[in-house]
Amino acid sequence: MRWGGDPPNDTRFRDRDDAGRRLAERLLADGAQVDLVLALPRGGVPVAAPVARALGAPLDVLVVRKLGLPGHPELAMGAIGPGGVRVLVDDVVRGSAVAPAALERVEAAERRELVRREHAYRGDRPPSELVGRRVLIVDDGLATGATARAAVAVARAAGAAWVGLAVPIGPPDTSAELGGDVDRSWVLHAPAWFSAVGQGYERFGQVSDDDVRAALAGA
């Protein structure tokens, strides 16, 4: 694994599009060459769109879902992806004493949402072929890293020859841990004090299904 990306001087992004453009600049400066950019919807899509344009690569989505801790759904206790992939954050699951039945209920609900989103974004179009390709996974940031780790596992299982990860912001420990899962990673800003992905953005509004579909159609 090679680590890419020193923090820029201005570490607060105007919005996701600005973050994507600055991420694209870093990738171009590092000579990144990829066959496909995979955005993690929904927030990763407006970041990935300018990256895909700059790299001259097609854009698709890789739908993964966070498994929110019961009672505290903003905290990820894991994530799931297509093909039965499941990644757990063991410290959260053990530390919160999550019962197996509670975990199964959360996963079942998120599996249904994963299927809904895949159909909403692609319709009947199958996922992009990954066998033998160099793929770059892009999101709007890292927190626990569970979602990104699930996405990497899906890409590996689908036969990707090389898997990179690029995000505008993430905590130093998570960024370092994920670096061992990918062939190359770029994290523009890894603040020593990290509370949430949104701290790196001036505007961090919700991204809708329509926004995702429009970005894919534009790509």
Give phi and psi for 96, each to the nearest 5: -100, 0
- Tell me, what's the pLDDT at 11? 61
Q: Cα–chain-centroid distance for residue 76?
A: 13
For residue 119, what are its two tokens? 């159909």
- Tell me, what's the pLDDT at 125? 85
- Tell me, what's the pLDDT at 4? 45
* E-strand stretches of 11-64: 36-39, 59-61
Sequential DSSP letters for 112-154 = HHHHHHHHHHHTTPPPPP-TT-EEEEE-S--SSSHHHHHHHHH
Beta carbons of 120 and 57 less than 8 angstroms apart: no
**Dihedral angle at the C-alpha atoms of 53, 59, 62, 63, nearest 10 degrees?**
90
Kind and range of the H or E element at 76?
Answer: strand 72-81
- Crossing angle of the two packed helices 172-179 and 146-157, in degrees rounded to 10: 10
- Tell me, what's the pLDDT at 69? 93
| Domains of the chain listed by start with CATH number | 2-63+126-218 (3.40.50.2020), 65-121 (3.30.1310.20)
10-residue averages of pLDDT along the chain (219 residues): 42 92 97 97 96 96 92 88 86 91 95 92 88 97 89 91 96 82 93 91 94 87
- Tell me, what's the pLDDT at 139? 96
